Structure 1
């Protein structure tokens, strides 16, 4: 029965992703000087009394000054089971719950996760864009291996990158944001091109982390909030 339900969910989720994919545009739908506020989004999970709970943290920064403008989070029980490749369905409810708490409107969202660099080009950054109605970028700390294709290591200098090419299509980039530090994996979410995504990520990196500031701060906040909530 459980296997049947999972199979049904997988088919349902796959159909939704297939329906959304033709609407993905890997090109800028904005002018760069219009980007003033960037949001970083991350989630964390924990188990309690046999149930799975999660928190979504969103940190909004001023793109130019890099100052934190707003910090919100949501939390709740996770009711959608984990199915590889369909993480968005599990995370979207908490993401949108956190977005509703924002008093400012981000011009762009960066996700701690993938976008176009996904089995069906529908990672969380891409999928969520259709609910956020804003350009999105995927920033992953680890590489999602697709069709047995490995990435090529970029040169050891800040800003160096190699394209991740699968079946003659560019899925994303392995980007070294800091010298002597392992790369991160950047991909378009939606309504933005890969060069601009790379530029935006690099412009938000400082000496404290290989991750862009909004994503790093959201990641740190999820650990803080999880620790706080898991002990209630």
Structure 2
């Protein structure tokens, strides 16, 4: 396999690690602020960029910036949140271009993010966008968060570390990646589904996740579709001439 293919496989693994860590941090912060005036919403957006790093094994360093929202009815609707963000990004591109300036989602003007690597090196290249969400097949965040405050009858009280989380990611090489983060998953079940390989040395003749963005129920497919809209806007602007 080519060095470029190995680099992308390594990048996918790094993004999985980074997204899981961010999802856990999102969960802990949302739990701590639950019920307060500054309570966090259940969804966030992640931006992934890479910069040259000759001393690293594959010659790059990953940078992750993110945006979390305060809890509100609007912040509960993930497809709408992504659609609105895509519209805002397109508007920012048009407005800055008309003024003779170049807009970047990390800022400094009209930044899309409010945490993480807010100052990546000059020349860092956009490689993808993702979602961290606390809504899972166990229930919506508001429902699940309330169970942490219930006093169990003769049972063990749950903590935030017992709860699941999810991440969706689209990369500029065409990768779609879904993470079902489950702290109580069976041994050997990593909850990762990816349209492209994570192991460049493994020969795979069939990938059941090759059409990942078309799998699942309507709500899941809608998340992929709206995330794709945002990804298309960012890719067209930051990597002109390249199709996502």
- Structure whose CA Rg is larger: 2
Calculate the TM-score normalised by the size of structure 2. Answer: 0.28
Calculate the TM-score normalised by the size of structure 1. Answer: 0.29
